[in-house]
Amino acid sequence: MGGESVHIDSAAVVSGPRAAECCPAVKGKSFAAFFRQAEARFGLPSGLVEAVARAESGLNPRAVSPAGALGLMQLTPGTARALGVTDPFDPVQNVEAGARYLRHLLDRFGGNLRLALAAYNAGPGAVRRHGGVPPYDETQAYIEKVLAVLSGKKAAGCQGEQLPHETPPCLDGTMGSLLGRETLGIEAPGENALEIPAVVLRAYLAALLLAVGLEVLTGTGDAERRA
């Protein structure tokens, strides 16, 4: 997550109970239900909070990045303070604050998900300075990784069903149009060619490994230091 100052009305932050007191799903380290609650609370696209948490921390609530970002959503200390977080390793506070910050960034960048994700990774200042997604390899790979996980969840089972987060994501013909990037044509037997960005194929492999329980983490430290 970007390391610049965040100015958000902290009075609206809901601190909530600690993770162990909230619900068995959080206590048992199955965060799917809580991600959905945060998405509903802040009007975020379904699956976005989990996709960001996977890319940021590999769903590790005790994760600490080289740049000092903390917890599931990898909040920087400054952002955590601005959002009223008292314990960034508390999954309840961390996820709620991260979801609220995502909502703030989406509003700030006119609902543009790519720009919001770039700002989450490299900081809003970097997005402003570059007039769009910064030319940082890490930030660009981060965006594709989040979108690959998000696209896989939307096509869960390739039938539009909501499956548990442990289920590997599927690719379908909607991915090319969803991501809006230069694509490769891949022929699927008995179907039209699937338009899938080459970089997304690489991100998809990382997401697939995460889905089956392997740790494939990319830190946000370098992008934070540049922001």
Q: What is the mean pLDDT of the chain?
A: 71
Residue 150 sits in the same domain as residue 119? no
Residue 172 sits in the same domain as residue 197? yes
56 is catalytic: yes
Q: Which is more confident, 217 or 44?
A: 44
Taking residues 219-227, report their average pLDDT: 43
Residue 186 sits in the same domain as residue 106? no
Residue 118 sits in the same domain as residue 168? no
| Residue 1 domain flag | no
| Residue 6 domain flag | no
Question: Which among 156, 193, 160 is positioned nearest to 176, based on CA atoms?
Answer: 193
Show the CA angle centred on residue 155, arms to residues 149 and 158, nearest 5°. Answer: 130
Reported pTM: 0.62
Weakest-pLDDT range from 51-60, 113-122, 159-168, 186-195: 159-168
Instruction: Give pLDDT, residue 222.
Output: 46
> CA 83, CA 188: separation in Å to the nearest integer?
46
Residue that has been written with the tokens 């799903």 in this structure = 25
Determine the structural domain holding residue 193 and report its residue range. Answer: 137-211
- Which residue of the set 21, 39, 50, 56 is catalytic? 56
| Residue 63 domain flag | yes
Q: Which is more confident, 152 or 168?
A: 152
Instruction: Give pLDDT, residue 51.
Output: 97
Residue 78 sits in the same domain as residue 150? no
Residue 105 sits in the same domain as residue 61? yes
> CA 23, CA 122: separation in Å to the nearest integer?
33
Residue 125 sits in the same domain as residue 143? no
- Percent of the chain whose pLDDT exceeds 90: 52
Using pLDDT thresholds of 50, 70 and 90, give the confidence band for residue 89. very high
How would DSSP label each residue in the chain? ---S-----GGG------HHHH-HHHHTT--HHHHHHHHHHHTPPTTHHHHHHHHHHTT-TT-B-TT--BTTTTB-HHHHHHTT-S-TT-HHHHHHHHHHHHHHHHHHTTT-HHHHHHHHHH-HHHHHHHTSS-S-HHHHHHHHHHHHHHHHHHTGGGTT----TTSPP---TTHHHHHTS--EEE--TTSPPEEE-HHHHHHHHHHHHHHTT-------HHHHHH-
Weakest-pLDDT range from 20-24, 56-60, 167-171: 167-171
Residue 25 CA from chain centroid, whole number: 20
> CA 73, CA 53: separation in Å to the nearest integer?
5
Number of independent structural domains in the chain: 2
Report pLDDT digits (tens) over 92-103: 999 999 999 999
The two three-digit tokens of residue 227, written as one number: 């922001």
Residue 124 sits in the same domain as residue 142? no
Using pLDDT thresholds of 50, 70 and 90, give the confidence band for residue 30. confident
